[in-house]
């Protein structure tokens, strides 16, 4: 028997069952008729019993009868054992996971997301990007030179935008992606509200529909990043919270609040959900060529007030003949007009970064000394992703943090006023003067 004959037999069997079910429903309605006598009901029930038997209705099955079906969908222990936790960026973006960036409007979330796509492609963390942009106009795309980035990456960086794709065309692509192998593919939704098909972001049932689509793409191997908005912070809390239904957080693997520190010119990612991976708060400086420079998170988060207090603390420690105690530093700060709470915050945050604390055994007091500047060694893969190179930054003691340096691939930052020496795997030294 060929395949066509087999399918024809299945169709005939299904049609027969459907006809029997229709007959059963017809008899149910017949029983309700005012013209049916009691003895008629007996005959109707007899025929209904025969039909129910043929349809196997109300006939219980044993669990063993479901073995074949359960075997096809049961958890595969070996498949789970072989699963590896991978990052697109260490302790920040997890591969084959759904990540949410929530930020206030106009805070640069699209700008940073495009730069992350560029970085992930550059370091071969992923092979392809599909970016669905439902937020930005053509003028914004041109101003940010996204079209230039598209030219550089070609088919590796698919950017779907209203200038060349209707919303229904984007949805057609999304439906096709749900049937496609998406391993090593990053899919970005900017922003998620534009892809809710008229749904209300405050209603769980509407949010769950779009999140189910993201989960189906993840099941095909994709890494998902979706951008979202935050509510206006309450005056008494001054904390950003993502907008809309709790389903956004519940159905997301990992999530960050993104904010911009205008004083430092830094973009700060504060993690508030970490289902997968060992995630940490991170911060970047955006460079004009779609690259990012990672910098110390606490330094990136510093306000102008904290930064000024840090300078006062450094100057005070440096000018003392003996290592000052916590109380002496705090007294000096308050004499200069610094608030007690902010002074303590600055002193605690600066430990291990600007100064070190030493506990004295005699009187259980703490004294402080400045941390000398040390060479910074960074390892990263070369362009072919198979050789390790080391970039060593040698610097003098820094008096300000206005100058930053960027690794060619990973964008790791440092601050200095001296020259930089780059040591490659071929033992070639290149002196780069600091401008």
Is the domain of 147 the same as that of 8?
no
Same domain flag for 208 and 314: no
Residue ending a domain, choose from 326, 346, 370: 370
pLDDT band (50, 70, 90) for residue 374: low
Query: 127 and 10: one domain?
Result: no
Residues 281, 270 within the same domain: yes
pLDDT in tens, 303-335: 999 999 999 999 999 999 999 999 999 999 999
Helix axes 340-349, 326-335, angle to 10 degrees: 130
Residues 150 and 200 in one domain: yes
Determine, yes or no, domain membership for 336. yes
Q: What is the CATH number of the domain that holds 342?
A: 1.10.10.10
- Same domain as 408, residue 341: no
User: CA torsion, points 31, 32, 35, 36, in degrees to nearest 10?
Assistant: 20
Is the pTM higher than 0.85? Answer: no
Q: How many domains does the chain have?
A: 4
262 and 308 co-located in one domain: no
Q: Decide which of 271, 301, 331 is a domain's last residue.
A: 301
Domain range enclosing 168:
87-301
- Specify if 72 maps to a domain: no
Residue 139 sits in the same domain as residue 189 = yes
> Are residues 250 and 106 located together in one domain of the fold?
yes
One domain for residues 288 and 414 = no
pLDDT in tens, 31-51: 888 888 888 899 999 999 898
Bridge partners, residue 129, by sequence = 157, 186
Q: What are phi and psi of 79, to 5 degrees?
A: -65, -40
User: Token match 């230039």: residue?
Assistant: 148
Residue 417 lies in a domain: yes
My answer on whether 191 and 294 are in the same domain is: yes
278-295 exposure pattern, b = at least 16 Cβ within 10 A, e = fewer: ebebbbbbbeeebbbbbb
pLDDT tens digits for 165-174? 999 999 999 9
Residue 182 sits in a domain whose CATH number is 3.40.50.300
Residues 227 and 251 in one domain: yes
String of DSSP letters for 254-313? EEEEEEEETTTTEEEEEEEEESSS----EEEEE-TTS-EEEE-HHHHH--HHHHHHHHHH
Residues in the chain: 435
In a domain, 273, yes or no: yes
Q: 21, exposed or middle or buried, with CB in 10 Å at 0-12, 13-18, 19+?
A: middle
pLDDT in tens, 142-163: 999 999 999 999 999 999 999 9
Contacts of 294 (CB under 8 A, 6+ apart): 282, 283, 284, 410, 411, 412, 413
Domain stop point among 301, 324, 340: 301
């Amino acid at each position: 028997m060929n395949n066509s004959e087999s399918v024809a037999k299945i169709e005939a069997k299904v049609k027969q069952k459907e006809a029997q079910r229709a007959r059963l429903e017809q008899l149910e309605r017949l029983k309700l008729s005012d013209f049916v006598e009691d003895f008629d009901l007996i005959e109707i029930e007899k025929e209904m019993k025969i039909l129910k038997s043929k349809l196997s209705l109300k006939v219980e099955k044993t669990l063993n009868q479901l073995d074949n079906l359960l075997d096809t969908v049961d958890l595969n222990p070996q498949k789970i054992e072989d699963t590896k936790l991978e990052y697109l960026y260490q302790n920040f973006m997890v591969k084959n996971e759904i990540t949410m960036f929530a930020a206030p409007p106009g805070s640069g979330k699209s700008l940073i997301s495009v730069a992350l796509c560029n970085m992930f492609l550059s370091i071969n963390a992923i092979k392809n990007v599909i970016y669905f942009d439902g937020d930005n106009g053509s003028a914004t795309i041109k101003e940010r030179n996204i079209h230039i980035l598209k030219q550089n990456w070609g088919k590796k960086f698919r950017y779907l935008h209203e200038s060349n794709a209707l919303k229904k065309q984007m949805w057609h692509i999304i439906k096709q992606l749900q049937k496609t192998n998406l391993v090593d593919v990053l899919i970005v939704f900017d922003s998620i509200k534009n892809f809710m098909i008229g749904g209300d972001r405050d209603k769980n049932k509407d949010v769950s529909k779009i999140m189910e689509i993201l989960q189906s793409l993840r099941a095909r191997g994709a890494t998902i990043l979706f951008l979202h908005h935050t509510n206006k912070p309450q005056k008494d809390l001054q904390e950003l919270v993502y907008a809309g239904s709790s389903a956004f957080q519940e159905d997301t693997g990992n999530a960050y609040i993104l904010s911009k520190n205008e004083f430092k010119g830094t973009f700060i990612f504060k993690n508030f959900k970490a289902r997968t991976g060992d995630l940490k708060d991170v911060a970047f400086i955006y460079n004009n060529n779609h690259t990012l420079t990672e910098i110390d998170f606490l330094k990136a988060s510093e306000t102008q007030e904290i930064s000024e207090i840090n300078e006062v603390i450094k100057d005070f420690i440096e000018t003392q003949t003996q290592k000052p105690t916590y109380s002496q530093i705090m007294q000096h700060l308050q004499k200069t007009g610094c608030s007690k709470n902010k002074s303590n915050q600055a002193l605690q945050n600066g430990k291990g970064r600007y100064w070190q604390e030493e506990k004295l055994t005699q009187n259980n007091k703490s004294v402080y000394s400045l941390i000398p500047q040390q060479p910074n060694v960074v390892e990263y893969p070369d362009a072919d992703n198979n050789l390790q190179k080391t970039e060593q930054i040698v610097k003098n003691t820094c008096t300000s943090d206005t100058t930053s340096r960027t690794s060619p691939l990973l964008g790791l930052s440092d601050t200095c006023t001296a020259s930089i020496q780059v040591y490659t795997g071929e033992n070639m030294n290149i002196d780069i003067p600091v401008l």
